[in-house]
């Protein structure tokens, strides 16, 4: 089932999410719905709060070297925790909850993350490149933080102006 995506400036995106306690059939159905929603919207990452569920859940599906997005590379992270972070990098980020706007954001270059999978099993991975950036972007959602919150004052102003213009254009069609 495709779920509606919550878009900025909806206040729900500022909520802090809570840890998942039950790794049950309801969680599995929700994860499947998140995946269907992300793919239908041409996304590579989605946090549960973006579909109005304040739980520590995120999914990632980074395209491979041939730029193909297949379910084999889907990562589901439940209750993720970052243990180590190193270096800095930046990337022109976007977000399904801030449609049509992209801006350069600074992140840690490499991170170590532990998380649970849908069965409650524990995993630990080291990530770099786009995967590392995507994990940090999605984990910010769990804290109620959007990539636009990380922009300089001047760039945030530019965003507010551009986004308002985009919203008006959308209303016209």
Q: Residue number with the shortest CB distance to Co ion? A: 95
Q: Residue number with the shortest CB distance to ligand QAP? A: 43
Q: Are 131 and 91 in contact (CB under 8 A)?
A: no
Q: Which does 167 bind (CB under 5 to 8 A by kind): Co ion, ligand QAP, none?
A: none
| Site for Co ion, residues 79 to 108, rule: CB under 5 A | 95
Of the pair 95, 139, the CB lying nearest Co ion is at 95
- The residues of the shown chain that bind ligand QAP, judged by CB under 6 A, are 41-45, 91, 93-96, 99-100, 130, 133-134, 137
Of the pair 30, 91, the CB lying nearest ligand QAP is at 91
Structure tokens at 31: 């994860």
Q: Which does 134 bind (CB under 5 to 8 A by kind): ligand QAP, Co ion, none?
A: ligand QAP
Positions marked active-site: 138
Of the pair 120, 125, the CB lying nearest ligand QAP is at 125
CA pair distance 54, 51, nearest whole angstrom: 9
Of the pair 55, 141, the CB lying nearest ligand QAP is at 141
Q: Does 13 bind Co ion (CB under 5 A)?
A: no
Q: Which does 99 bind (CB under 5 to 8 A by kind): ligand QAP, Co ion, none?
A: ligand QAP
List Cβ neighbours of 52 (8 Å cut-off, separation of 6 or more): 3, 4, 6, 12
Q: Which does 13 bind (CB under 5 to 8 A by kind): Co ion, ligand QAP, none?
A: none
Structure tokens at 154: 């001047």
């Amino acid at each position: 089932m495709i779920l509606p995506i919550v878009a900025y400036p909806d206040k729900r995106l500022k909520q802090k999410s809570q840890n998942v306690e039950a790794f049950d059939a309801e969680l599995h159905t929700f994860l499947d719905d998140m995946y269907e929603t992300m793919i239908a919207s041409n996304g590579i990452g989605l946090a549960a709060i973006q579909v109005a569920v304040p739980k520590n859940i995120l999914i990632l599906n980074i395209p491979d070297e041939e730029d193909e997005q297949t379910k084999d590379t889907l990562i589901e992270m439940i209750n993720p925790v970052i243990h180590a972070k190193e270096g800095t990098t930046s990337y022109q980020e976007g977000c399904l909850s801030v449609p049509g706007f992209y801006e350069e954001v600074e992140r840690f270059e490499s991170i170590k993350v532990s998380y649970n999978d849908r069965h409650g099993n524990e995993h630990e991975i080291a990530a770099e490149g786009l995967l590392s950036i995507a994990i940090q972007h999605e984990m910010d959602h769990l804290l109620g933080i959007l990539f636009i919150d990380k922009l300089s004052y001047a760039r945030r102003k530019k965003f507010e102006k551009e986004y308002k213009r985009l919203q008006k254009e959308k209303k016209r069609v």
